[in-house]
């Protein structure tokens, strides 16, 4: 089952879970994804060692999507 998680003050929070075949649960996950985006979070899909992709829409086939805060020079 795919997961949408948000990194936050609790470590991380699972916002939604879905399977590619379950349209209703995926639609709910898309809602959560967009809500997090509106709060300033950025969607990232880890893709194995050394690779990750920035996503603007929730990918149905992804196993894990992580919402992270923007970074900036310190």
Partner 1 sequence: MAAEQALPELASVPWRRRTDARWLLRWGRIWQAWTLLYSVPFLAAGAAMLWLAPIAAPVALIAIAHAWIIPELYAFRGASVTRPKGPRNERAEHVAQGLLADLLGHDERELQRRTGLALERGELGVWLVGEAGALLVTPGARRVHCFCVRTAEPELPPSDRVAHLLLALRVDEEGFATVANHAFAGAPWRVRRRMPQPMRPALGAARHAAR
Binding site for partner 1 (CB under 8 A): 5, 7-12, 42, 44, 46, 49-56, 66, 68-74
C-alpha to C-alpha distance for 15 and 17, rounded to whole angstroms = 7
Q: Which is nearer to partner 1, 9 or 38 (CB)?
A: 9
Shortest approach of partner 1 to residue 36 CB, angstroms? 13
Shortest approach of partner 1 to residue 18 CB, angstroms? 19
Tokens of 15: 């916002």
C-beta separation of 8 from 69 below 8 A: no
CB atoms within 10 A of CB 42: 15
Q: Which is nearer to partner 1, 23 or 69 (CB)?
A: 69
Q: Which is nearer to partner 1, 54 or 61 (CB)?
A: 54
């Amino acid at each position: 089952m795919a997961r949408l998680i948000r990194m936050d003050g609790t470590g991380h929070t699972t916002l939604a879970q879905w399977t590619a075949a379950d349209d209703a649960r995926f639609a709910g996950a898309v809602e959560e994804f967009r809500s997090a985006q509106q709060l300033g979070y950025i969607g990232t899909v880890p893709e194995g060692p050394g690779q990750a992709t920035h996503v603007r829409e929730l990918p149905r086939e992804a196993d894990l999507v992580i919402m992270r805060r923007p970074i900036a020079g310190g």
